Amino acid sequence: MHSLFEEVDFQQSAHSEPNTKIILELMESEQIESEWLPVLQQLVDTVLSTPLDGKALRLQQIMAAQRLTELEFLLPIEVLDAPTLNRITQRHDPLSAHAGDLGFHAVQGMLKGFIDLVFQYQGRYYVLDWKSNHLGDDPAAYHPQRLGSAMAEHRYDLQYQIYALALHRFLRSRLAHYNYEQHFGGVFYLFLRGMDGRGDQGVFHTKPSLALLDELDGLIAGRELAQRASKAGQMELDL
């Protein structure tokens, strides 16, 4: 499903000749029977016409020049430990607090990833991730209130926090007068199987706080560790 939305022209119907050609080529490469063409065309049109913000923001408005597909990012990690990460994310993000603690050994190195889609709309930039998860046959499984549970179960909260930090850093380096509140629109996770084109069904939307991103940035850059070491040294001197 991801490939469909990477290739099609958002501003044209999936039934248009160019988009139909793209879809058929992708179906052939994936060995999908031609009888599925109408189903995939309907899926594409439904997703692209859905008002993601419940108002006017629809992907069918986004031009090719306003899209960055599979944006690669590299985040150098000075040090990353689970207890500090849990403390930061759970303090600033209710979804992380609900999801519980992550457990892993402290890591260093380079974190490499790809954001499915970054797009620009009315001067704001958004992270978008396509999800093909089957959450159940009942449409209620894709209601926004239920999506939070799926997001927490799969720890997509940490994923979108990292994506948001990557885009935050990217925009900070590219826009001369970058302001997070002004230029960063938020994060969308689209659960494609549950979208109906009419509202927020299958649509998860959030915007991490700047405080969260600043602390997460400091953690992976080693500033958090340096501050703790400085405080520990100060305590020793005071003693």
Q: In what order do the strands lie in the sheet with 107-121?
A: 67-80, 107-121, 124-131, 184-191, 203-206
Tens of pLDDT, residue by residue over 16-41, are 999 999 999 999 999 999 999 999 99
Is 129 one of the annotated active-site residues of the chain? yes
Domain ranges of the chain: 1-49, 64-238
Architecture of domain 64-238: Alpha-Beta Complex (3.90)
> What pLDDT was estimated at residue 234?
42
Tokens of 135: 């959450």
Residues in the chain predicted with pLDDT less than 50, given as ranges, are 226, 229-235
Q: Which of 45, 93, 116, 129 is catalytic?
A: 129
pLDDT recorded at residue 90? 98
The pLDDT value recorded for residue 55 is: 86
Residue positions counted in the chain = 239
Q: Can you give the pLDDT at residue 227?
A: 56
* pLDDT value at residue 222: 81
pTM of the model: 0.91
